[in-house]
Structure 1
């Protein structure tokens, strides 16, 4: 009887351990599925491509997101005509503030020319849909301003509202927003009193320095209060990966506000 009891007990322990092992394996698999970097659709750009991505932690919460250019996209013939691309985000980005990304190539720059009249990219991370963006009307002045507590420190409104884009706010303490000094800067965008996009804006010449200068990470000026609860980036960066030959613009440290 004792032998049978011990045998039965051993079988039960083995069964329990097998179940525990199976449970642990499943849990690890779930964690692996939640954590990782997920990519949006690839979009052709000159001889290369561009795509969005989002990185999540082990509980599936986004911690960073951005856009990656292949080297061929940056080194290819970008042309002398302004181009605009809508970049879809991966579904894992639904927990972020952002709906989609608009990428603009400005071969002659844009107004005001003394500041931004050089070849550069605008990278708008929009919080509203492409249909809503398309409905934005151009106007000489804002009808409604965001309340002061929602405006980042040192940011001022530039003249007018750009149709199908919005009004632009620039950091007057950033040397990049002075004549002859533009390489990279971070812009806020609004319409009808609401902030609707975050925009890294950077020159092609600056992008081409990254293989030499390496990754540059910059704090994002924050307001004292936030209009909409959500995950707000605290820093952004520009980088080049020599192994994959890719340029990446990242919004980092997504933090609940």
Structure 2
């Protein structure tokens, strides 16, 4: 079940975010224009230089200045995120939402943390004669976190792939969409992790997030999140969307059991 973090303090007290996280080293990617502001990526690393959290920071002016046109921005990642198995972030502004409209038909941001290259992502093209065949080649559920399932029918999105959703997420039970976590796949592989966040949630400056289980196994070396979060840093005036508590995984390992509370 997804857990909402009402305050960072509450999350710390609950043991959901390590107390040592505040002391970790942070690497930043370059600033990229977004609306009238900017966006940049970051990676928090531990003493060994391993990424424990990867995210993006959007300035307030970026979030408030975007209007009625869709915007697609590729955000470079710092070296620590590359070592963790990610290649780039594709940040999409959806001013009118997207399908299914009854779930996600409100203005929001799609923040894709891709494990594949941008060229591989852009090659997901309906002009490819094998487009639907590749979409239908879904990975085993062993490669996805518990409760994540694909669409009932094969439903690829160009330059993205298929989107798998946690079937226990409250948004599927009728709760209004504020933010959800999605996994993506293409041609038999897991290819991205994607928080989707409404602009209203960002403008409210409320903290929001959830826990994530680990897949039973992985097909490539990658650090996968055990949590994700949305927050606002008042001291620098930026909105933060991140995948947190990264766990380094390699092919052949076994998922750790869920954390006890």
Bucket of the pairwise TM-score, normalised by the shorter protein: 0.7 to 0.9
Matched, 1:75 2:68: no
| 2:29 corresponds to 1:40 | yes
Q: TM-score, normalised by structure 1?
A: 0.80
**TM-score, normalised via structure 2 length:** 0.79
Shift of 1:251: 1.4
The CA distance in 2 between the partners of 1:203 and 1:136, in whole Å, is 26
CA contact (8 A) 1:115 1:178 kept: no
Q: How many residues align?
A: 219
| 1:140 Cα deviation after fit | 5.6
Give the whole-Å Cα distance in 1 for the aligned partners of 2:209 and 2:173.
Answer: 21
Inter-partner Cα distance in structure 2 for 1:221 and 1:168: 17
SS in 2 for 1:165: coil
For the 8 Å contact 1:115–1:180, the answer to whether it is kept is no
Q: In 2, are the aligned partners of 1:150 and 1:223 still within 8 Å (CA)? A: yes
Cα distance in 1 for residues equivalent to 2:235 and 2:69: 31
**C-alpha distance in structure 1 between counterparts of 2:67 and 2:217, whole Å:** 41
Uncovered stretches (5+) of structure 2, i.e. residues with no partner: 1-23, 250-261
Stretches of structure 1 lacking an aligned partner (at least 5 in a row) = 1-34
* Aligned equivalent of 1:189: 184
> What displacement does 1:171 show?
1.1
Matched, 1:90 2:78: yes
| Secondary structure of 2:200 counterpart | helix
Query: Are the equivalent residues in 1 in contact too, given 2:149–2:165 (CA < 8 A)?
Result: yes
Asked if 1:245 corresponds to 2:215, the answer is no
1:122 matched residue in structure 2 = 110
CA distance in 1, matches of 2:245, 2:192: 17
Q: Note the aligned Cα RMSD (angstroms).
A: 1.7
Structure number with the bigger relative contact order (C-alpha 8 A, sep ≥ 6) is 2
* Matched residue SS, 2:136: coil
Which residue number in structure 1 is paired with residue 145 of structure 2? Answer: 152
Q: Select the residue among 151, 170, 176 that pairs with 2:171.
A: 176
How far apart in 2 are the matches of 1:209 and 1:222?
30
Q: Which 4+ runs in 1 deviate beyond 6 A?
A: none
Cα distance in 2 for partners of 1:190, 1:125 equals: 12
* In structure 1, C-alpha distance between the alignment counterparts of 2:147 and 2:46, rounded to whole Å: 33
